[in-house]
Amino acid sequence: MNLDHVILAAEDRLSEAVATKILMNMGFKIVRKPQKPRNSRLKGNSYLKKRAPEFNRSATGPYYFFMLTDLDSPKICPPELIQSWINAPLNPRFFLRVAVMEVESWVMADQSAFAEFLRVPIQEVPTRTDEIPDPKALLLSLAQKSKSGRLRKDMLPKNGNKTSKIGPGYNNRLCGFVRDYWDMNRAVSVSPSLKRTIDRLQSTKPILGTDQ
């Protein structure tokens, strides 16, 4: 069995879309995505944090395990987050990767494609996306400036809606952008945390396709 098969777990739909694009572009085949129990109240990184030690222990067989979460807070660095979640030696086939500060920073890191998608001047898109304190908020502020009224309607919450920070089409729009237009090779020059993830995956290439 080839060792380039991977089980994927991500924090949300957008993270899953980004992780899928990265893994497929690098020659991995996603074999399954763990499902949450129907009655589980765990969501987002709380669920991933609970499953991370199990994934690490399981990453000794034929499959790689890839987990993507957001850093969210500048008070902790990615290695500290990883160690706090695992609290054990990392298996070489387990990839717990952290987007700084959120996966939206990786999405915006392909500046030219993202500016074209959002229909805003490229100068509006930051050049150091990992340094944005709240990437989702900035992304929404850029969407507010879009020349496309339909995109603004999809991406932004309706006036008076206090229960959601995003519009009804936020995830569909961004996931479609990632799938069809986002280029990780352009984005790595802007996002160091994305580059570290690509480099970490690339380091597995000598053993891909073997049974060692």
Do 160 and 202 fall within a single domain? no
* Neighbour count for residue 109 (Cβ, 10 Å): 29
* Tens digit of each residue's pLDDT (9 = 90 or more) over 47-94: 999 999 999 999 988 889 999 999 999 999 999 999 999 999 999 999
- Calpha distance 176→162 (Å, rounded): 26
Do 120 and 130 fall within a single domain? yes
CB 101 within 8 A of CB 133: yes
Considering its fold, how many domains does the chain have in total?
Answer: 2
Do 77 and 181 fall within a single domain? no
Q: Per-residue pLDDT for 211 more than 80?
A: no
- Does residue 212 form part of some domain? no
Instruction: Give the three-class secondary structure for 5.
Output: strand
Query: The domain containing residue 72 runs over which residues?
Result: 5-103+190-207
Q: Per-residue pLDDT for 40 more than 70?
A: no
Task: State the CATH number of the domain containing residue 30.
Answer: 3.40.50
Q: What is the mean pLDDT of the chain?
A: 90
CB 52 within 8 A of CB 34: no
Which ranges constitute the DSSP H helices of 26-134? 44-58, 78-86, 103-108, 111-118
CB 30 within 8 A of CB 8: yes
Q: What is the reported pLDDT for 34?
A: 64
Q: Per-residue pLDDT for 3 more than 80?
A: no
| 3 state SS for 82-111 | HHHHHCCCCCCCEEEEEECCCHHHHHHCCH
Do 126 and 170 fall within a single domain? yes
Per the listing, tokens 């763990």 go with 34
Do 11 and 66 fall within a single domain? yes
- Does residue 89 form part of some domain? yes
Do 70 and 56 fall within a single domain? yes
- Does residue 169 form part of some domain? yes
| Residues of the chain above pLDDT 70, percent | 88
Q: How far is CA 28 from CA 13, 67, 75, 125, 160, in A?
A: 19, 14, 33, 30, 44
| Residues of the chain above pLDDT 90, percent | 81
Q: What is the reported pLDDT for 35?
A: 58
Do 74 and 136 fall within a single domain? no
Do 48 and 20 fall within a single domain? yes
Q: Per-residue pLDDT for 161 more than 90?
A: no
Do 12 and 55 fall within a single domain? yes
Do 79 and 161 fall within a single domain? no
* Neighbour count for residue 4 (Cβ, 10 Å): 18
Residues 7-13, mean pLDDT to the nearest whole number: 94
Do 140 and 171 fall within a single domain? yes
Do 124 and 202 fall within a single domain? no
